[in-house]
Amino acid sequence: MDNITIYSRTAYFEVTENSTFRSFSLINSTGINLTDETSMTDPIVEELEQVSKYLWVVISPILFLVGFVGNVLIVIVLWKLTFWRKTAYLCLALLAVSDLTVLCVGLSRYWIDEEFGVNVRTLSNSGCKINLFVIYWSMQFSSWLLVCVVVERFLKTNFPLRYQSIVSTKRCILCIVTTAVFLAGLDLHFFWTNGLIVENGEVDCSSLNDAYFQFEEKKFTYMDFAFLSAIPFFLMVIMNVFIYKVLRESRKWRETTVRNQHASSERLRRFDIRLTRTLFFSSIYFLLATTPISLYFIIDSYVKLDDVGEARKDVIWTVCYLLQFSNYAVNFFIYNLTNAKFKNTLKGMFGCPDKRIYRSKYSTRRSTVSSIITSTTSVDDSQRDDQDEQTSESRESEGYV
Protein backbone atom coordinates (compact mmCIF):
# COMPACT_ATOMS: atom_id res chain seq x y z
CA MET A 1 0.00 0.00 0.00
CA ASP A 2 1.27 3.50 -0.82
CA ASN A 3 1.96 5.99 1.92
CA ILE A 4 -1.20 7.90 2.79
CA THR A 5 -0.95 11.40 4.14
CA ILE A 6 -3.84 12.07 6.52
CA TYR A 7 -4.71 15.58 7.57
CA SER A 8 -7.02 16.74 10.31
CA ARG A 9 -7.94 20.21 11.51
CA THR A 10 -5.31 20.01 14.29
CA ALA A 11 -2.90 17.19 13.41
CA TYR A 12 -0.85 15.60 10.64
CA PHE A 13 -0.20 11.86 10.33
CA GLU A 14 1.66 9.57 7.92
CA VAL A 15 0.07 6.14 7.53
CA THR A 16 2.19 3.37 5.99
CA GLU A 17 1.60 -0.30 5.44
CA ASN A 18 3.53 -1.34 8.57
CA SER A 19 2.26 1.42 10.82
CA THR A 20 -1.44 1.58 10.02
CA PHE A 21 -2.71 0.44 13.39
CA ARG A 22 -0.04 2.30 15.36
CA SER A 23 -0.93 5.50 13.53
CA PHE A 24 -4.59 5.11 14.33
CA SER A 25 -3.64 4.45 17.91
CA LEU A 26 -1.74 7.73 17.81
CA ILE A 27 -4.84 9.45 16.48
CA ASN A 28 -6.82 7.96 19.33
CA SER A 29 -4.28 9.33 21.79
CA THR A 30 -5.06 12.86 20.61
CA GLY A 31 -8.59 12.48 21.83
CA ILE A 32 -10.31 11.35 18.60
CA ASN A 33 -12.34 8.19 19.04
CA LEU A 34 -12.58 6.20 15.80
CA THR A 35 -14.70 3.34 17.03
CA ASP A 36 -16.81 4.14 20.04
CA GLU A 37 -20.17 5.82 19.71
CA THR A 38 -20.56 8.64 22.20
CA SER A 39 -24.29 8.97 21.90
CA MET A 40 -27.29 6.92 20.96
CA THR A 41 -28.64 7.32 17.44
CA ASP A 42 -32.18 8.61 17.03
CA PRO A 43 -34.51 5.89 15.59
CA ILE A 44 -35.82 8.32 13.01
CA VAL A 45 -32.27 9.00 11.87
CA GLU A 46 -31.64 5.27 11.55
CA GLU A 47 -34.79 4.81 9.47
CA LEU A 48 -33.85 7.67 7.15
CA GLU A 49 -30.33 6.28 6.78
CA GLN A 50 -31.80 2.91 5.85
CA VAL A 51 -33.98 4.59 3.22
CA SER A 52 -30.94 6.24 1.66
CA LYS A 53 -29.00 3.00 1.73
CA TYR A 54 -31.92 1.08 0.20
CA LEU A 55 -32.15 3.55 -2.68
CA TRP A 56 -28.43 3.26 -3.44
CA VAL A 57 -28.34 -0.53 -3.12
CA VAL A 58 -31.44 -1.19 -5.24
CA ILE A 59 -31.64 1.59 -7.84
CA SER A 60 -27.97 2.32 -8.55
CA PRO A 61 -27.10 -1.15 -9.95
CA ILE A 62 -30.15 -0.98 -12.24
CA LEU A 63 -29.11 2.44 -13.54
CA PHE A 64 -25.52 1.25 -13.92
CA LEU A 65 -26.45 -1.89 -15.85
CA VAL A 66 -28.91 -0.10 -18.15
CA GLY A 67 -26.57 2.82 -18.73
CA PHE A 68 -23.47 0.70 -19.28
CA VAL A 69 -25.12 -1.63 -21.81
CA GLY A 70 -26.95 1.24 -23.51
CA ASN A 71 -23.87 3.41 -23.95
CA VAL A 72 -21.79 0.49 -25.22
CA LEU A 73 -24.50 -0.23 -27.80
CA ILE A 74 -24.51 3.47 -28.77
CA VAL A 75 -20.77 3.33 -29.47
CA ILE A 76 -21.15 0.13 -31.52
CA VAL A 77 -24.05 1.47 -33.59
CA LEU A 78 -22.29 4.77 -34.25
CA TRP A 79 -19.18 2.85 -35.23
CA LYS A 80 -21.23 1.02 -37.85
CA LEU A 81 -22.54 4.41 -39.01
CA THR A 82 -18.89 5.62 -39.36
CA PHE A 83 -19.26 8.33 -36.73
CA TRP A 84 -15.83 9.82 -37.53
CA ARG A 85 -17.21 11.12 -40.84
CA LYS A 86 -20.11 13.10 -39.34
CA THR A 87 -19.67 15.73 -36.66
CA ALA A 88 -22.98 15.01 -34.93
CA TYR A 89 -22.25 11.28 -34.68
CA LEU A 90 -18.74 12.07 -33.43
CA CYS A 91 -20.14 14.17 -30.58
CA LEU A 92 -22.69 11.49 -29.71
CA ALA A 93 -20.00 8.79 -29.62
CA LEU A 94 -17.84 10.88 -27.29
CA LEU A 95 -20.93 11.62 -25.21
CA ALA A 96 -21.53 7.88 -24.75
CA VAL A 97 -17.90 7.41 -23.61
CA SER A 98 -18.20 10.34 -21.21
CA ASP A 99 -21.46 8.96 -19.81
CA LEU A 100 -19.76 5.60 -19.29
CA THR A 101 -17.04 7.38 -17.33
CA VAL A 102 -19.60 9.05 -15.09
CA LEU A 103 -21.34 5.75 -14.37
CA CYS A 104 -18.14 3.80 -13.72
CA VAL A 105 -16.37 6.44 -11.62
CA GLY A 106 -19.34 8.02 -9.84
CA LEU A 107 -22.37 5.75 -9.60
CA SER A 108 -20.44 2.53 -8.96
CA ARG A 109 -18.55 4.20 -6.08
CA TYR A 110 -21.73 4.93 -4.13
CA TRP A 111 -23.08 1.43 -4.72
CA ILE A 112 -19.83 -0.19 -3.51
CA ASP A 113 -19.79 2.06 -0.47
CA GLU A 114 -23.37 1.27 0.55
CA GLU A 115 -23.30 -2.44 -0.36
CA PHE A 116 -19.82 -3.41 0.90
CA GLY A 117 -18.84 -0.51 3.14
CA VAL A 118 -15.75 0.35 1.06
CA ASN A 119 -15.21 3.95 0.00
CA VAL A 120 -12.84 3.77 -2.96
CA ARG A 121 -11.86 7.42 -2.47
CA THR A 122 -10.28 6.65 0.90
CA LEU A 123 -8.07 3.82 -0.39
CA SER A 124 -5.29 6.26 -1.28
CA ASN A 125 -4.63 9.98 -1.24
CA SER A 126 -4.02 10.10 -5.00
CA GLY A 127 -7.19 8.09 -5.62
CA CYS A 128 -9.18 10.66 -3.65
CA LYS A 129 -7.92 13.51 -5.82
CA ILE A 130 -8.25 11.67 -9.16
CA ASN A 131 -11.76 10.41 -8.43
CA LEU A 132 -13.01 13.90 -7.54
CA PHE A 133 -11.44 15.44 -10.63
CA VAL A 134 -12.71 12.78 -13.06
CA ILE A 135 -16.30 12.71 -11.82
CA TYR A 136 -16.74 16.52 -11.94
CA TRP A 137 -14.93 16.84 -15.28
CA SER A 138 -16.84 14.00 -16.99
CA MET A 139 -20.22 15.31 -15.86
CA GLN A 140 -19.47 18.81 -17.15
CA PHE A 141 -17.96 17.42 -20.36
CA SER A 142 -21.14 15.43 -21.07
CA SER A 143 -23.20 18.60 -20.71
CA TRP A 144 -21.07 20.50 -23.21
CA LEU A 145 -21.03 17.63 -25.69
CA LEU A 146 -24.82 17.95 -25.78
CA VAL A 147 -24.34 21.65 -26.49
CA CYS A 148 -22.01 20.75 -29.37
CA VAL A 149 -24.67 18.49 -30.89
CA VAL A 150 -27.30 21.25 -30.69
CA VAL A 151 -24.87 23.80 -32.14
CA GLU A 152 -24.21 21.52 -35.11
CA ARG A 153 -27.96 21.10 -35.67
CA PHE A 154 -28.50 24.85 -35.32
CA LEU A 155 -25.89 25.63 -37.99
CA LYS A 156 -27.28 22.99 -40.32
CA THR A 157 -30.85 24.28 -40.18
CA ASN A 158 -30.23 28.04 -40.01
CA PHE A 159 -27.24 28.25 -42.37
CA PRO A 160 -27.69 25.35 -44.81
CA LEU A 161 -25.71 26.99 -47.63
CA ARG A 162 -22.75 27.85 -45.43
CA TYR A 163 -22.88 24.69 -43.30
CA GLN A 164 -20.26 22.78 -45.29
CA SER A 165 -17.81 25.68 -45.11
CA ILE A 166 -18.37 26.29 -41.39
CA VAL A 167 -18.54 22.75 -39.98
CA SER A 168 -15.85 20.12 -40.50
CA THR A 169 -14.57 17.15 -38.53
CA LYS A 170 -11.24 18.85 -37.75
CA ARG A 171 -12.96 21.98 -36.44
CA CYS A 172 -15.33 19.85 -34.39
CA ILE A 173 -12.43 17.95 -32.81
CA LEU A 174 -10.62 21.23 -32.09
CA CYS A 175 -13.74 22.63 -30.41
CA ILE A 176 -14.18 19.48 -28.30
CA VAL A 177 -10.53 19.44 -27.22
CA THR A 178 -10.67 23.13 -26.30
CA THR A 179 -13.78 22.53 -24.21
CA ALA A 180 -12.20 19.53 -22.48
CA VAL A 181 -9.05 21.49 -21.61
CA PHE A 182 -11.07 24.44 -20.29
CA LEU A 183 -13.18 22.19 -18.04
CA ALA A 184 -10.05 20.40 -16.84
CA GLY A 185 -8.61 23.77 -15.80
CA LEU A 186 -11.85 24.53 -13.96
CA ASP A 187 -11.61 21.31 -11.91
CA LEU A 188 -7.83 21.08 -11.56
CA HIS A 189 -7.93 22.58 -8.06
CA PHE A 190 -9.06 19.22 -6.62
CA PHE A 191 -5.48 17.98 -6.84
CA TRP A 192 -4.25 20.42 -4.17
CA THR A 193 -7.42 21.40 -2.28
CA ASN A 194 -8.62 17.88 -1.41
CA GLY A 195 -7.15 14.79 0.20
CA LEU A 196 -7.62 12.33 3.02
CA ILE A 197 -8.55 13.91 6.35
CA VAL A 198 -9.74 12.70 9.74
CA GLU A 199 -13.04 14.31 10.63
CA ASN A 200 -15.55 13.24 13.29
CA GLY A 201 -13.49 10.14 13.95
CA GLU A 202 -13.52 8.91 10.34
CA VAL A 203 -11.09 9.05 7.43
CA ASP A 204 -12.72 10.96 4.59
CA CYS A 205 -11.83 12.47 1.21
CA SER A 206 -12.54 16.16 1.60
CA SER A 207 -11.08 19.69 1.68
CA LEU A 208 -7.69 19.88 3.39
CA ASN A 209 -8.32 23.07 5.37
CA ASP A 210 -11.05 25.55 6.18
CA ALA A 211 -10.05 28.00 3.44
CA TYR A 212 -10.37 25.31 0.75
CA PHE A 213 -13.61 24.12 2.35
CA GLN A 214 -15.12 27.60 2.21
CA PHE A 215 -14.01 27.99 -1.42
CA GLU A 216 -15.76 24.77 -2.47
CA GLU A 217 -18.87 25.40 -0.38
CA LYS A 218 -19.39 29.08 -1.20
CA LYS A 219 -17.84 29.55 -4.66
CA PHE A 220 -17.21 26.32 -6.53
CA THR A 221 -20.79 25.12 -6.06
CA TYR A 222 -21.98 28.11 -8.11
CA MET A 223 -19.29 27.51 -10.73
CA ASP A 224 -20.27 23.87 -11.02
CA PHE A 225 -23.96 24.75 -11.29
CA ALA A 226 -23.20 27.25 -14.04
CA PHE A 227 -21.01 24.99 -16.19
CA LEU A 228 -22.80 21.72 -15.47
CA SER A 229 -26.41 22.79 -15.86
CA ALA A 230 -27.38 26.47 -16.21
CA ILE A 231 -25.24 27.70 -19.13
CA PRO A 232 -25.54 24.49 -21.24
CA PHE A 233 -29.31 24.39 -20.78
CA PHE A 234 -29.70 28.09 -21.64
CA LEU A 235 -27.70 27.65 -24.86
CA MET A 236 -29.60 24.50 -25.85
CA VAL A 237 -33.00 26.11 -25.31
CA ILE A 238 -32.11 29.24 -27.33
CA MET A 239 -30.73 27.25 -30.27
CA ASN A 240 -33.60 24.74 -30.21
CA VAL A 241 -36.07 27.63 -30.45
CA PHE A 242 -34.36 28.91 -33.60
CA ILE A 243 -34.24 25.38 -35.03
CA TYR A 244 -37.95 24.91 -34.42
CA LYS A 245 -38.80 28.26 -36.03
CA VAL A 246 -36.91 27.35 -39.21
CA LEU A 247 -38.55 23.94 -39.44
CA ARG A 248 -41.99 25.41 -38.77
CA GLU A 249 -41.54 27.90 -41.59
CA SER A 250 -40.47 25.03 -43.81
CA ARG A 251 -43.67 23.17 -42.89
CA LYS A 252 -45.82 26.17 -43.80
CA TRP A 253 -44.06 26.45 -47.16
CA ARG A 254 -44.69 22.79 -47.91
CA GLU A 255 -48.36 23.16 -47.01
CA THR A 256 -48.76 25.80 -49.72
CA THR A 257 -47.03 23.70 -52.39
CA VAL A 258 -48.73 20.36 -51.85
CA ARG A 259 -51.98 19.75 -53.68
CA ASN A 260 -53.62 17.52 -51.16
CA GLN A 261 -53.84 20.05 -48.34
CA HIS A 262 -55.57 17.86 -45.77
CA ALA A 263 -53.32 14.83 -46.11
CA SER A 264 -50.20 16.97 -46.27
CA SER A 265 -51.16 19.01 -43.20
CA GLU A 266 -51.84 15.86 -41.19
CA ARG A 267 -48.54 14.28 -42.14
CA LEU A 268 -46.62 17.47 -41.39
CA ARG A 269 -48.45 17.91 -38.11
CA ARG A 270 -47.29 14.46 -37.00
CA PHE A 271 -43.82 15.33 -38.23
CA ASP A 272 -43.81 18.48 -36.08
CA ILE A 273 -44.82 16.50 -33.00
CA ARG A 274 -41.98 13.99 -33.46
CA LEU A 275 -39.52 16.75 -34.25
CA THR A 276 -40.49 18.80 -31.22
CA ARG A 277 -40.08 15.76 -29.03
CA THR A 278 -36.66 15.09 -30.55
CA LEU A 279 -35.42 18.65 -30.15
CA PHE A 280 -36.64 19.42 -26.64
CA PHE A 281 -36.95 16.13 -24.76
CA SER A 282 -33.21 15.67 -24.22
CA SER A 283 -32.79 19.30 -23.14
CA ILE A 284 -35.73 19.23 -20.75
CA TYR A 285 -34.67 15.92 -19.19
CA PHE A 286 -31.14 17.26 -18.92
CA LEU A 287 -32.44 20.24 -16.94
CA LEU A 288 -34.66 18.11 -14.70
CA ALA A 289 -31.84 15.66 -13.99
CA THR A 290 -28.94 18.04 -13.35
CA THR A 291 -30.52 21.09 -11.73
CA PRO A 292 -31.83 19.57 -8.45
CA ILE A 293 -28.44 18.24 -7.28
CA SER A 294 -26.68 21.51 -8.17
CA LEU A 295 -29.27 23.53 -6.24
CA TYR A 296 -28.99 21.08 -3.35
CA PHE A 297 -25.26 21.71 -3.00
CA ILE A 298 -25.82 25.48 -3.03
CA ILE A 299 -28.55 25.27 -0.35
CA ASP A 300 -26.54 22.78 1.70
CA SER A 301 -23.70 25.30 1.89
CA TYR A 302 -25.88 27.63 3.97
CA VAL A 303 -28.43 25.41 5.73
CA LYS A 304 -27.32 23.36 8.74
CA LEU A 305 -29.89 21.31 10.65
CA ASP A 306 -30.07 18.90 13.56
CA ASP A 307 -29.45 15.16 13.18
CA VAL A 308 -32.96 14.39 11.94
CA GLY A 309 -32.90 17.31 9.53
CA GLU A 310 -29.50 16.25 8.18
CA ALA A 311 -30.77 12.70 7.71
CA ARG A 312 -33.73 14.01 5.72
CA LYS A 313 -31.34 16.09 3.65
CA ASP A 314 -29.34 12.93 2.95
CA VAL A 315 -32.46 11.26 1.55
CA ILE A 316 -33.10 14.28 -0.67
CA TRP A 317 -29.45 14.23 -1.74
CA THR A 318 -29.72 10.54 -2.64
CA VAL A 319 -32.83 11.09 -4.77
CA CYS A 320 -31.28 14.10 -6.53
CA TYR A 321 -28.02 12.29 -7.22
CA LEU A 322 -29.76 9.19 -8.59
CA LEU A 323 -31.86 11.43 -10.81
CA GLN A 324 -28.70 13.06 -12.12
CA PHE A 325 -27.06 9.70 -12.80
CA SER A 326 -30.15 8.64 -14.75
CA ASN A 327 -29.32 11.40 -17.23
CA TYR A 328 -26.24 9.39 -18.23
CA ALA A 329 -28.23 6.19 -18.73
CA VAL A 330 -31.24 7.22 -20.84
CA ASN A 331 -29.64 8.45 -24.08
CA PHE A 332 -29.92 4.99 -25.61
CA PHE A 333 -33.71 5.09 -25.28
CA ILE A 334 -33.89 8.68 -26.56
CA TYR A 335 -31.97 7.72 -29.71
CA ASN A 336 -34.23 4.73 -30.33
CA LEU A 337 -37.36 6.83 -29.97
CA THR A 338 -36.24 9.76 -32.10
CA ASN A 339 -33.66 8.46 -34.62
CA ALA A 340 -34.96 5.96 -37.16
CA LYS A 341 -31.53 5.35 -38.65
CA PHE A 342 -30.06 4.49 -35.27
CA LYS A 343 -33.00 2.21 -34.50
CA ASN A 344 -32.79 0.38 -37.83
CA THR A 345 -29.03 -0.10 -37.52
CA LEU A 346 -29.50 -1.51 -34.03
CA LYS A 347 -32.15 -3.91 -35.31
CA GLY A 348 -29.82 -5.01 -38.09
CA MET A 349 -27.15 -5.87 -35.50
CA PHE A 350 -29.54 -8.36 -33.90
CA GLY A 351 -30.82 -9.76 -37.19
CA CYS A 352 -34.17 -7.95 -37.19
CA PRO A 353 -35.07 -6.73 -40.71
CA ASP A 354 -36.35 -3.22 -41.26
CA LYS A 355 -40.12 -3.40 -41.83
CA ARG A 356 -40.01 -0.56 -44.31
CA ILE A 357 -37.42 -2.38 -46.41
CA TYR A 358 -39.46 -5.57 -46.16
CA ARG A 359 -42.62 -3.78 -47.26
CA SER A 360 -40.73 -2.12 -50.11
CA LYS A 361 -39.34 -5.43 -51.32
CA TYR A 362 -42.74 -7.10 -50.97
CA SER A 363 -44.45 -4.29 -52.86
CA THR A 364 -41.82 -4.45 -55.62
CA ARG A 365 -42.17 -8.21 -55.88
CA ARG A 366 -45.95 -7.99 -55.93
CA SER A 367 -45.94 -5.30 -58.61
CA THR A 368 -43.48 -7.36 -60.66
CA VAL A 369 -45.64 -10.47 -60.41
CA SER A 370 -48.71 -8.40 -61.25
CA SER A 371 -47.05 -6.94 -64.32
CA ILE A 372 -45.96 -10.41 -65.45
CA ILE A 373 -49.50 -11.75 -65.02
CA THR A 374 -50.93 -8.75 -66.88
CA SER A 375 -48.50 -9.11 -69.74
CA THR A 376 -49.14 -12.87 -69.92
CA THR A 377 -52.89 -12.29 -70.00
CA SER A 378 -52.48 -9.70 -72.72
CA VAL A 379 -50.41 -12.11 -74.80
CA ASP A 380 -52.98 -14.88 -74.35
CA ASP A 381 -55.80 -12.52 -75.36
CA SER A 382 -53.95 -11.38 -78.47
CA GLN A 383 -53.18 -14.95 -79.45
CA ARG A 384 -56.85 -15.87 -78.99
CA ASP A 385 -57.93 -12.93 -81.16
CA ASP A 386 -55.47 -14.00 -83.89
CA GLN A 387 -56.83 -17.54 -83.82
CA ASP A 388 -60.44 -16.24 -84.12
CA GLU A 389 -59.48 -14.08 -87.10
CA GLN A 390 -57.76 -17.03 -88.80
CA THR A 391 -60.82 -19.27 -88.20
CA SER A 392 -63.16 -16.61 -89.63
CA GLU A 393 -61.02 -16.17 -92.71
CA SER A 394 -60.87 -19.93 -93.30
CA ARG A 395 -64.63 -20.21 -93.03
CA GLU A 396 -65.14 -17.39 -95.53
CA SER A 397 -62.81 -19.09 -97.97
CA GLU A 398 -64.73 -22.38 -97.62
CA GLY A 399 -68.10 -20.69 -98.20
CA TYR A 400 -69.51 -20.87 -94.75
CA VAL A 401 -70.20 -17.17 -94.67
CATH code, domain with 169: 1.20.1070.10
Same domain, residue pair 27 and 110: no
CA distances, 20 to each of 122, 194, 301 (Å): 14, 21, 34
Q: Note the pLDDT of residue 182.
A: 97
Same domain, residue pair 28 and 109: no
Same domain, residue pair 119 and 9: no
Same domain, residue pair 20 and 83: no
Q: Note the pLDDT of residue 320.
A: 93
- Each residue's pLDDT expressed in tens, for the chain with a length of 401 residues: 445 545 544 444 444 444 333 333 333 333 344 444 444 567 888 899 999 999 999 999 999 999 999 999 999 988 888 877 888 888 889 999 999 999 999 999 999 999 998 999 999 999 999 999 999 999 999 999 989 988 888 888 888 888 888 888 899 999 999 999 999 999 999 999 999 998 878 899 999 999 999 999 889 999 999 999 999 989 988 988 888 888 777 777 766 665 555 555 555 455 444 545 555 677 778 888 888 888 888 888 888 888 888 889 999 999 999 999 999 998 888 777 766 777 788 888 887 765 554 454 444 445 444 544 444 444 455 555 555 555 554 444 444 33
Q: How far apart are the first and last CA of the chain?
A: 119
Of 128, 120, 109, 124, the closest CA to residue 190 belongs to: 128
Count up the domains in the chain and report the number.
2
What percent of the chain is predicted at pLDDT more than 70? Answer: 70
Q: Note the pLDDT of residue 340.
A: 72
Query: What does pTM read for this prediction?
Result: 0.75
Q: Note the pLDDT of residue 358.
A: 44
In DSSP terms, 7 is beta-bridged to 12, 197
Evaluate the CA torsion angle 128, 129, 131, 132 in order and state its sign.
positive
Give the whole-angstrom CA distance, residue 106 versus residue 116: 16
Same domain, residue pair 128 and 69: yes
Same domain, residue pair 18 and 115: no
Distance, C-alpha 228 to centroid of its chain: 13
CA distances, 304 to each of 28, 198, 205, 311, 334 (Å): 28, 21, 20, 11, 39
Domain residues for 251?
42-194+208-355
Degrees to nearest 5, angle at CA 70 with 65 and 72:
100
Give the whole-angstrom CA distance, residue 129 versus residue 116: 22
SS3 11: coil
Same domain, residue pair 77 and 27: no
Q: Note the pLDDT of residue 222.
A: 93
Q: Note the pLDDT of residue 349.
A: 81
Same domain, residue pair 213 and 236: yes
Mind giving me the DSSP string for 56-80?
A: HHHHHHHHHHHHHHHHHHHHHHHHH
Task: Judge whether 338 and 274 are in contact, CB under 8 Å.
Answer: yes
Q: Note the pLDDT of residue 37.
A: 43
Assigned domain for 319 exists: yes
Q: Note the pLDDT of residue 94.
A: 93
Same domain, residue pair 102 and 69: yes
Dmax of the chain from CA atoms?
139
Same domain, residue pair 5 and 76: no
Same domain, residue pair 15 and 64: no
Q: Note the pLDDT of residue 42.
A: 77
